[in-house]
Amino acid sequence: MSCNACMSLELFNKHVCKEQSLKRDCPVCSDMLFESKHPVKELPCGHFMHSHCFAAYTRYAYTCPLCFKSLGNLEMYWRMIDRLLEAEQLPAEYAGRRQSILCNDCGARSEVAFHFVYHRCASCKGYNTRIV
């Protein structure tokens, strides 16, 4: 293991190992993770942050501050956006326009219908995307 994390074998099988990831600073408070006395939380993407920083950070954000992958299952949130977009009608001058996007969760690039805010990934169907 190259991340320097000690964990149970049960957790190890689910672990996404990123080299020297505990030798970095917490992306929220900037304290060194490896030398910290505070508990550390592994994110689904394999990055780490202090548990108390995670609790504070996730009150206003749902993506990893380093790689922007979703921190959990957001399907319910994506369905809410789907319903919002179904009820909304874009101005006529934007009909038929397309936008190139990159999905922060699955890494797929796709060409999707233009919207001012939301762009749904053609591959994983999530909205954690950015315009490229």
Q: Where are the domains of the chain?
A: 1-72, 75-131
**pLDDT over threshold 60, residue 12:** no
Domain 75-131 grouped into CATH 2.20.28.10: yes
Q: Which residues pair with 105 in a beta bridge?
A: none
For 7-21, 77-91, 107-121, which range has the lowest pLDDT when averaged over its residues? 7-21
**pLDDT over threshold 60, residue 119:** yes
What pLDDT does residue 49 have? 95
Tell me what the pLDDT averaged over the chain comes to. Answer: 89
At 61-101, the pLDDT tens digits run 999 999 999 999 999 999 999 999 999 988 999 989 999 99
Q: How far apart are CA 128 and CA 132, in angstroms?
A: 13
Q: Which CATH class is domain 1-72?
A: alpha beta
Question: 52 or 11: which carries more pLDDT confidence?
Answer: 52
CB-based contacts of 12-15 (< 8 A; 24+ apart in sequence): 15/42, 15/46
Q: Using CB atoms within 10 A of its CB, is residue 120 exposed (0-12), middle (13-18) or buried (19+)?
A: buried
